[in-house]
Amino acid sequence: MNSPIATSNNSFTATLQDLIEYPTNGVFCKVLIKDNNSEYSLLCLPTGTQIGKHTSTSNIFVTVIEGRGTMNLEGKDIVLAPGVFVFMPANAPHALQAIENLAFVMIKSEQSQPKQGISQKTIDIVKSTAPILKENGRKITTRMYEIMFDKYPEVKAQFDMSAQANGSQPAKLAIAVYSYAVHIDDLEGLKAMVDQIAHRHVQAHVLPEQYPIVGECLLQAIKDILTDAATEEVMIAWTEAYQTLAEVFINREQQIYQTAFAD
């Protein structure tokens, strides 16, 4: 295991040139430092090294320190030389070749982590609304679809309107919202539910930019149905909570879309 030479708890400095080592074959990789989201490594490829087309689930940032090479990123050829910087979004296919000894710093940055740290205040408020959501769940979600189909009629085409008419879809959404209120501090416990809904969303071609629409309509419906119980504090907490849940879905759906369309 390639352990980092420094920890992210303390400041650290290095002269990268002093750390460069070229193996006779293969790739020298030294992890410099790691934190919860990112890993900073020095990579050294001896002349002639080729790395075939591959992808990474992280965002990747490359800064060339010395040497020469070529990279093919999403079909485009890039000349690698000192000072060249390359950003590769997660899952972008790339390949590279060292024309002469090539050293670069690579930063892997996890972009699929849900936002950490919903405040304890928000968690407490959202959890305190669970009983009232259980009691009024169907009314809230029925109202939310009413608002959404009225204000954004273009989304109707994605829905099975018979599941609206017989109330089964509002019922499912009500259970999901209630479960989220209960498990807001234990998102792992929601994994199976998120997975199932995310697969259904991908089938229905739900897109990230549609989440603010559902958010707006859901929050409005909470206000309309809970009236006095929907205090400003409750609405602020649910706005933050919805955003976090939306990110969880968007990230999971992005993974499913990418797997479904990977070659």
Contact 170, 143 (CB under 8 A): no
The tokens describing 200, both together, are 């259904």
Q: Please identify which residue in 71, 88, 126, 176 interacts with ligand HEM, judged by CB under 6 A.
A: 176
Is 256 a binding residue for ligand HEM by CB under 6 A? The answer is no
Is 221 a binding residue for ligand HEM by CB under 6 A? The answer is no
In the complex, the smallest distance separating the C-beta of residue 156 from ligand HEM, rounded to whole angstroms, is: 9
Active site residue 233: no
Question: Which residue among the candidates 152, 211, 216, 247 is catalytic per the annotation?
Answer: 211
Is 202 a binding residue for ligand HEM by CB under 6 A? The answer is no
The tokens describing 66, both together, are 């010395």
103 exposure class (CB count in 10 Å sphere: 0-12, 13-18, 19+): buried
Kindly state the DSSP code that residue 69 receives in the 8-state scheme. Answer: E
Q: What character string, x for contact with ligand HEM (CB under 6 A) and - otherwise, covers 57-96? A: ----------------------------------------
Q: Which residue has the tokens 């018979």?
A: 162
In the complex, the smallest distance separating the C-beta of residue 192 from ligand HEM, rounded to whole angstroms, is: 11
Contact 177, 137 (CB under 8 A): yes
Kindly state the DSSP code that residue 116 receives in the 8-state scheme. Answer: P
Q: What is the C-alpha separation between 238 and 218, in angstroms, rounded?
A: 10
Q: Please identify which residue in 106, 211, 222, 253 interacts with ligand HEM, judged by CB under 6 A.
A: 211
Active site residue 21: no
DSSP string across 137-170: HHHHHHHHHHHHHHH-GGGGGGS-HHHHHTSHHH
Q: What is the C-alpha separation between 160 and 249, in angstroms, rounded?
A: 20
Q: Please identify which residue in 163, 229, 236, 260 interacts with ligand HEM, judged by CB under 6 A.
A: 163
Q: What character string, x for contact with ligand HEM (CB under 6 A) and - otherwise, covers 231-250? A: --------------xx--x-
Candidates 76-84, 117-125, 167-175, 252-260; binding stretch for ligand HEM (CB under 6 A): 167-175
In the complex, the smallest distance separating the C-beta of residue 203 from ligand HEM, rounded to whole angstroms, is: 7
Q: Which residue has the tokens 């071609």?
A: 205
DSSP bridge pairs for 73: 76, 94
In the complex, the smallest distance separating the C-beta of residue 110 from ligand HEM, rounded to whole angstroms, is: 22
Q: What is the C-alpha separation between 221 and 82, in angstroms, rounded?
A: 56
Is 204 a binding residue for ligand HEM by CB under 6 A? The answer is yes
In the complex, the smallest distance separating the C-beta of residue 20 from ligand HEM, rounded to whole angstroms, is: 47
Is 159 a binding residue for ligand HEM by CB under 6 A? The answer is yes
Please name which of 118, 119, 114, 164 lies closest in space to residue 142, comparing C-alpha atoms. Answer: 164
Binding site for ligand HEM (CB under 6 A): 155, 158-160, 163, 169, 172-173, 176, 196-197, 200-201, 204, 206, 210-211, 214, 245-246, 249
Q: Any idea which residues carry the catalytic annotation?
A: 211, 253
